[in-house]
Amino acid sequence: MKLQTPLYVIVVLLFLVSAAYAQEPVFKAGQSVYVVAVKSSKQPDLSTERKIKDEFEKHNSFKIATSSQSADFVFLIFVECEFNQVMFNNVGADVEDVKSVAAFVVSPDEYAHHKNDLDDLRDKALWQTSENNNARRTGNLPKKVVNKFHEDTAPKKL
């Protein structure tokens, strides 16, 4: 009789662990994503936003939503830029380079309620990452972040 009690506990624990792994994934192919890119100055970053959308379209897993209300989730990326001066033929030009990014995926409701509070968005994130650009500032951070999102959220094959 004493042997049955620990065995029962083990069976129940195994059942609970297997049930946790059997839950539906948060992200599924065909869902819609609303993309928002914001500079650290709180200004929209339409260039980075376009690059993120292009990368999502290349993966062809999620549809691009035209509003947060029509989306299944919001992909929000905060961009830290640095300004450099580039000389070409004795003419100087200021160039804005992406230095680092922080990306969060939140529900549309969480985005609507907390879009002005980075800490709350980070706490409510369903997925998040941060990336720094290399010294050459190759400009491939949007691609890198979207690829990482797809790698992390794709259903795992057994």
**Domains, the chain, with CATH or none:** 28-153 (3.40.50.10070)
Contact 143, 59 (CB under 8 A): no
Using one digit for the tens of pLDDT, what is the confidence trace for 44-71? Answer: 999 999 999 999 999 999 999 999 999 9
70-79, 115-124, 127-136, range with greatest mean pLDDT: 70-79
pLDDT at residue 116 is higher than 70: yes
**What is the mean predicted confidence (pLDDT) over 28-35?**
93
What are residue 73's DSSP bridge partners?
33
Report pLDDT for 157. 47
**What is the mean predicted confidence (pLDDT) over 110-126?**
90
pLDDT at residue 24 is higher than 60: no
CB burial string 92-111: b at 16+ within 10 A, e below = eeeeeebeebbbbbbbbebb
Q: At 106, is the pLDDT very low, low, confident or very high (cuts 50, 70, 90)?
A: very high
Report pLDDT for 98. 66
- 56-59 — which CB contacts under 8 Å span 24+ positions? 56/146, 59/146, 59/150
d(CA 112, CA 54): 24
d(CA 32, CA 57): 11
* CB atoms inside a 10 Å sphere around CB 136: 7
Helices 141-153 and 46-59 cross at an angle (nearest 10°) of 40
- The sign one gets for the Cα dihedral 36, 40, 43, 47 is negative
Report pLDDT for 113. 92
Average pLDDT, the chain: 79
Using one digit for the tens of pLDDT, what is the confidence trace for 122-156? Answer: 899 999 998 887 655 566 888 899 999 999 887 55
Q: Which residues contact 121 (CB under 8 A, 6 or more apart)?
A: 76, 104, 106, 110, 111, 114, 115
Contact 103, 76 (CB under 8 A): yes
Q: Of the ranges 66-70, 81-85, 102-106, 140-144, which one carries the lowest mean pLDDT score?
A: 81-85
pTM: 0.75
Which pair of tokens denotes residue 13?
Answer: 């624990």
